[in-house]
Structure formats: C-alpha cells, structure tokens
Amino acid sequence: MKITEQLTSAVTKTGDFMTLASQDVSGMLSLLNDLLGPVPRPDAPSKLEQRASAAGMIDVIRLWQRQDDAPAATEEEIRQFFTEEELTRFSNETGLSATATLSMLQTLLPRCVRRRALHEPFTRCS
C-alpha cells in the first residue's frame, strides 16, 4: 500500500470515529429496507429472496432467517449481495467511508434479514 493510500485510510478511519458515523444506523437501515423491499409474505417471494437467489445466496439468507444471533456476513457476501453502485449509495447517503459501510452492512444485514423473517421491526440491540 502506498503512503498516500495509508494516509487516506487513516484519515477516513479517524473521520468515521470522530463523527461517530458508525454508531448511527438509522440512515443505513432506511436504505437497507428500501433495497430489500417489503417484508416477505408467505404467498409471494420477497425482493430479498429474489435478490439472494440471483446472487446464489439463498442458503445463506435462509440461515440468517432461522438464527437469532447469526454471525456477521463476510465482505465477500456483502459484495455478492449488493452491487458496487448500491454500496456507493450506502456510503454517500450515510456519510460513511467505504470501509465503515462494509463493516456496518456485515453486521446489520443478517440481523435485518432475521427481523424481516419474524415480521418484527428492527430495533437496535443494546
């Protein structure tokens, strides 16, 4: 990694920390729910399931739907599930760096998928 890339990365991480951007999940959840579509109904496949199927991740989604404390998604899973344009949109709309955006999505996506399966609104865990 070049010195300029290291400096940019350090400044970005400092900015994310100083603004506590990674603590505010409301904007991220709004956009996430928008992309995932309406909460699933038993009689129709959801936008979430269609997206997961197209990405070859239906088994992963089913696991997240069943588990209360599903492990965080991997970076690869996030990049497989969302397009680069969507990841950029998350970053732009939340004000987070690309790194912080990936990190938050890795944590929030499995939890959000679980809540949707239970038809419960997402509330932030303590």
Query: Whole-structure pTM over 0.85, yes or no?
Result: no
Q: Read off the pLDDT of each residue in 80-102 and give the average, rounded to a whole number.
A: 92
Residue 67 lies in a domain: yes
- The pLDDT score that the predictor gives to residue 4 is 52
The total domain count for the chain is: 1
The answer to whether residue 9 sits within a structural domain is no
Q: Is residue 88 part of a domain?
A: yes
Distance CA 45, CA 83 (A): 21
Taking CA atoms, 36 is separated from 7, 19, 21, 29, 58, in Å, by 35, 27, 22, 10, 14
Average pLDDT, the chain: 78
Is it the case that residue 15 has pLDDT exceeding 80? no
- Return the structure tokens found at 69: 């404390």
Its domain, for residue 84, covers 25-117
pLDDT tops 80 at residue 84: yes
Q: What per-residue confidence (pLDDT) applies to 80?
A: 95
Phi and psi at residue 40, in whole multiples of 5°? -60, 150
